Amino acid sequence: MAATDPIRIGYTPGQDVTLDHLQDQIEWYDRNSGQNQKAFKCLKISTIVAAALIPAFAGFPKLQWITAGLGVLIVVMEGLQQLYQYHSNWIAYRSTCESLKHEKFLYLAIAGPYSVAQDPHALLAERIESLVSQEHAKWASGQEQAQKSTASPKVS
């Protein structure tokens, strides 16, 4: 592709399958990073508030069920965080999103590895898939670790 080719100057959806795929991936990782960030912060703030209320209610015998309920709520929220790995996913998805944006910029600017590549378009496709595959592998590993850590302890 020549430097004057419109696809290389800017990005217009529907002109190129690879760039469309790249944009879809950027949007997916951006959206899911935000969702995981919100879920993580919501759980953490709720856990902190519940934990702070326990000592306040502990001095009132008639509120013992509320105190116990808050303790149960904390355990459940921490278990959900451990199971769904909101914090890890937020960080990993944001990192992948930013890496994909970086690739898009380099490709459109014909910079970095794209400035010397024989086929910059093929290189872009390979690098996109490499980034996404790496993130999928990290995600799968994280899910496996989360499953192991939430499994019942073995009785010896």
- Give yes or no for residue 99 having a pLDDT over 70: yes
Task: Over range 30-40, report the average pLDDT.
Answer: 98
pLDDT top residue among 4 and 51: 51
pTM of the model: 0.81
- Give yes or no for residue 33 having a pLDDT over 90: yes
pLDDT tens track for 76-94: 999 999 999 999 999 999 9
pLDDT at residue 10, rounded to an integer: 64
pLDDT at residue 2, rounded to an integer: 46
Tokens standing for residue 75: 């355990």
pLDDT top residue among 13 and 84: 84
pLDDT at residue 143, rounded to an integer: 75
pLDDT at residue 3, rounded to an integer: 47
- Give yes or no for residue 139 having a pLDDT over 70: yes
pLDDT at residue 136, rounded to an integer: 85
pLDDT at residue 129, rounded to an integer: 95
- Give yes or no for residue 152 having a pLDDT over 70: no
